[in-house]
Amino acid sequence: MKTYLLFFLLTTLTMVVPVSAKNYITSEQLPEWFNKSLSKEAKGLPHTRISLPAFPLNAIGVGTWSGAQSVEDYWYFTVDIGSETPVECWAFKDYDGLANSLISMMKFSITNISTTLNKAVESQYNFSLDISTLGSTPVFSYNILYNLGDSDERVAGLIKGMSAESANGLQVCLHNEIGYRDTFKNVFNSFVNAVDKTAQVQPFFFAINGMTMQGELVGIVSEKFSKDADGDVEIVETTSLILPVDANTVSSTDSVVRSWGHSDGTLINSYAYTVENGELSSSIGVSRPEEKWVIDGEIQGKSVSSELLYDGVFISNYGTYLETQKLANSDNDSTRYNTWSVDADPTQPTSTVMYKKGQKNGLLELLAEIEGFKVEYTVDEDFIMQEAQVKMGPIEFDIMPMYVSGKPTNL
């Protein structure tokens, strides 16, 4: 899974394209009573104010919202939608990620339901998975169908979960009841739309991309560039994946890379961490305090701290766009540069060779060869990627544009 992150050093797209939800269980596979219950929706719900200055939240929400309950380092709400069970919502400042937090909370909720009803979890199935954006906010939606107890006293349920990551933090809602899928989505959307964005620093470039593997929608990637008072560039890349392993389980991965780069595209420092299935798998950074690149952190529970033999420059993610611009405006057919990546080998540079292939549908077509795989893609006049295919041996990935704001080379 982590190999994907190498490619995301290049990615950003400009168009808004809807991503279709993947339903793993069809109506033909379900009993009539379940399909009938699944179609239930709430009507004529009241609207109440959602207020949480510490996050901050301040807007009108769908349903009857409770006041925020502060619990350690997060806040908790219940929302009455007129069904047997309320919707539950949380706002987090500290969290594992868009994917891991949602999956962990859904698993925990099913365990609590099992304990409350004193019925063991007999089986559970991936019911549906969706990845989308709400404005500039990436959103995951995942539903689990579960069965509790023995066959003669079996209880079936559907737990719906949605998570969204904004600049303020993470928001998650769950609802343990068959049906009310559109109602639940409307409640969650009103929760996300309640975020007060007035205090947020506006990046000069922000892109969100969807990702498919062998035709399956599996993840979302975002990339954000902001300029500081010294003219340097803060670069934040996030990757969240929910990959169905089989009919019953999914694998979740969240990675964050936070870097600083000079205006010429060279790297100042970088820190990256990855959480896989609820466990921190790596947490490591690179910096150059005294003319030597130094890495420090841990990978798979083992401490890593050393000087790099390489003493040249690394190109930041912002810098890769400048390299594309230089190549496009030159007579050269290719260019080569080095980046720092945990996923390849953090003790040495990761080399990228970029080739001009010509024109495709009026756009510049490029090929990037990165250690272990190739990326074929097109860029527009602002050097922003329009479509991409990643090839890693027999496996191919496609990148789908979902949201963009600004231009990556307009510092």
pLDDT at residue number 108: 94
pLDDT at 1 over 70: no
For 201, half-sphere exposure in the C-beta direction (CA atoms, 13 angstrom radius) is 13
pLDDT 10s digits, 13-26: 222 333 445 678 87
Which of 105-109, 211-215, 376-380 shows the lowest mean pLDDT across its residues? Answer: 211-215
CA distance 111 to 191: 25
pLDDT at 21: 54
Whether the pLDDT of residue 58 is over 80: the answer is yes
The total of other beta-carbon atoms located within 10 Å of residue 79's CB is 25
57 is written with which tokens? 């939240």
Write out the two tokens for 143. 């539903």
pLDDT confidence of residue 6: 34
In the structure, what pLDDT confidence band is assigned to residue 5 with cuts at 50, 70 and 90? very low
The mean pLDDT of 41-54, rounded to a whole number, is 95
Give per-residue pLDDT as tens, 146-192. Answer: 999 887 778 889 999 999 998 889 999 999 999 999 999 999 999 99
Half-sphere exposure of 261 (CA within 13 A, CB side): 28
Compute how many other C-beta atoms are within 10 angstroms of the C-beta atom of residue 195: 24
pLDDT(228) > 80: yes
Q: Is the pLDDT of residue 94 over 70?
A: yes
pLDDT band for 199, please (50, 70, 90 cuts).
low
Across 356-365, average pLDDT? 92
Query: Could you tell me the two tokens for 210?
Result: 């969807």
Q: Which of the four pLDDT bands, split at 50, 70 and 90, describes residue 396?
A: confident
For residues 25-43, give the mean pLDDT.
86
Look up residue 349 and give its DSSP letter: P
Structure tokens at 41: 């929706």
Picking from 249-258, 298-307, 312-321, which range would have the lowest pLDDT averaged per residue? Answer: 298-307
When comparing pLDDT for 247 and 354, which is higher? 354
Mean model confidence pLDDT for the chain: 89
Task: Copy the structure tokens of residue 86.
Answer: 């309320």
For the chain, counts of helices (H) and of strands (E): 5, 25
User: Could you give the percent of the chain with pLDDT greater than 70?
Assistant: 94
